[in-house]
Structure 1
């Protein structure tokens, strides 16, 4: 493990952004570090000298010997992090939970406002920051589940929380998606039941992970809400379409794409920058990757152009998605090295703190 990788892992374990780490060092030692400089450390473009190693040791609460020695670095996270960091996090969560129980917790309207905020922030924040914050919210809402509507809130929070884990491990993400579906069932809110399952299906299908689970959840969403066009149903249909494309069933994928566009015509969003929305540009992000996977270069390029035309400038991560779709097209056309290089250049142009688990999984698909 390089010193850059260790710094990155320790920073994420605390739920800090690169800017936060720079700020903590600056406050403690009177330095003028920037987020960009932390990024250079983490990419191993620059190695911190003895002074900054001491700063990192103090701010991250890690022995200096671990930062200085490669052998120690390789074993530190598994042997030390669980005991040095997790209790602090657990203490904070326990405190939040008991405080919520004693004080009654936020109102239903306040919870809905929180969900709306997280829906917007998900589009631009990194997975580690979202995971840290949502874990606290789940502890709080857990204390208020006497109100059936809050099962719907909890289900939607669980779905967002699941998105912070890589779907490829076949365990944590899937566990949370299934738990979210059960919570939505407990709420009795059919709209939430469909949305939670549809969001899980598109997440897993788009990532190319746990395709069997993606199909099951999509089918459940279709069974509950087939007669009511909704964004949850739209997500479910495109989740199934991606799963079909990855299995090589082009006919099913194309039929689902046609069905999905019909649902969009009735249920598409005007809201542009929320995870709870599917506007025109986001539909075309779904379709861009789907058609690239199907080898439909003309259709994929058209979808990419449609998406880029309306994509909000404050969402550069999704522009990177489109560039990776082009890299995938190159690789599928036979230029594996060129496709991987094109995609890697797009990833390198995006600030590291904006990289998502989904982008990394797309990179793996392109390299493969």
Structure 2
């Protein structure tokens, strides 16, 4: 990819204008960069030198190697190890990594079983627990990436890991989603490429965070394949949430209808995995989307349908539905009552079951 197009994509992913990118660099480095100069970069009229590459790396929060050229496998692996090592005891990680490299590590079948387990655990465990467990696995799997199939495993692990950081962070979650997309591309597996991007889109869109990135991943997923799949469903619904938050209700409704049609073909029967979208989970998506659109009857219907089918071992998602009702109250004009309703629902859920998504939803309700 030409450096100009890469700069443009990274800027668009943050939802920044060319002027906003120039301002970010000027504020951080005391330069006098203009919007026109950024435009020159993106049109490949001017190539940024080493100094501005470092500036771009810092303000766009991407490794310098990404801007300097195609990221090679060795750089990609070291990126993963450097980012994943912090939450876990370093000596244990080093031992696990070298052991995997020397012994060949778990087989692809064992890794698929691990993914299935983590997909289930994600639905009920707290973010910190999931983060701690998956970070160790990432250090192990990065030693086995000679096998293309394990790039797919790595991409799905990284997507779950990204979910343990708030999308509003602006760097950690988004960078992990980007690496997950690159890993999926390395695998050559179309389903993984679509799913990783779609999962990023619905995560960010549902959270109401980094909407430019949500749109970018959704658009990429839809461009890769229009065949009905869970990845495509996530992408479309994520883009619908982003549109609703921006106030583009017509687009949001159109995308929601598209999502329902995709669900009819691709919805899953598995009930308790992050890799699944059963009927109740689709209704959780619709519940919040309808609340954001001010479609009270639709929201209530989705909430009642979801509540009848949510497995008892997943109380966090029942809390989501109650908080959606709080948002509806706020949007109807009862801000005090809506905030209290949502806060009471969140407080009734044990703290260890809280997720970053719930906290972001609470922030949205308070803002009205």
Q: Give the TM-score normalised by the residue count of structure 1.
A: 0.76
SS in 2 for 1:143: coil
SS in 2 for 1:353: helix
SS in 1 for 2:142: helix
Residue deviations 1:54-90, cap 9 Å, x none? xxxxxxxxxxxxxxxxxxxxxxxxxxxxxxx969722
- The reply on whether 1:340 has 2:339 as its aligned counterpart is yes
TM-aligned CA distance change 1:322 to 1:91, over 3 Å: same
1:1-368 to structure 2, matched below 5 A, reads 89-226=89-226, 228-368=227-367
Following the alignment from structure 2 to structure 1, what is the Cα–Cα distance between the partners of residues 211 and 246? 9
Residue deviations 1:220-248, cap 9 Å, x none? 0000111x100000000000000000000
SS in 1 for 2:175: helix
TM-aligned CA distance change 1:87 to 1:108, over 3 Å: closer
- 1:295 Cα shift? 0.6
Aligned to 2:63: none
Residue deviations 1:288-307, cap 9 Å, x none? 00000001111100000010
Following the alignment from structure 1 to structure 2, what is the Cα–Cα distance between the partners of residues 202 and 356? 15
Q: How many positions carry a matched residue from both structures?
A: 283
Following the alignment from structure 2 to structure 1, what is the Cα–Cα distance between the partners of residues 326 and 262? 29
Following the alignment from structure 1 to structure 2, what is the Cα–Cα distance between the partners of residues 187 and 245? 33
Residue deviations 1:265-309, cap 9 Å, x none? 000000000000000000000000000000111110000001001
- CA-based RMSD of the aligned residues comes to 1.1
Q: Which runs of 5+ in 1 are unaligned?
A: 1-84
Where does structure 1 differ by over 3 angstroms across 4 or more consecutive aligned residues?
85-88
- 1:251 Cα shift? 0.3
Residue deviations 1:115-140, cap 9 Å, x none? 00001000000000000110000000
Q: Give the TM-score normalised by the residue count of structure 2.
A: 0.76
- 1:103 Cα shift? 1.5
TM-aligned CA distance change 1:153 to 1:245, over 3 Å: same
Aligned to 1:58: none
Residue deviations 1:311-366, cap 9 Å, x none? 11110000000000000000111111111100010011100000000000000000
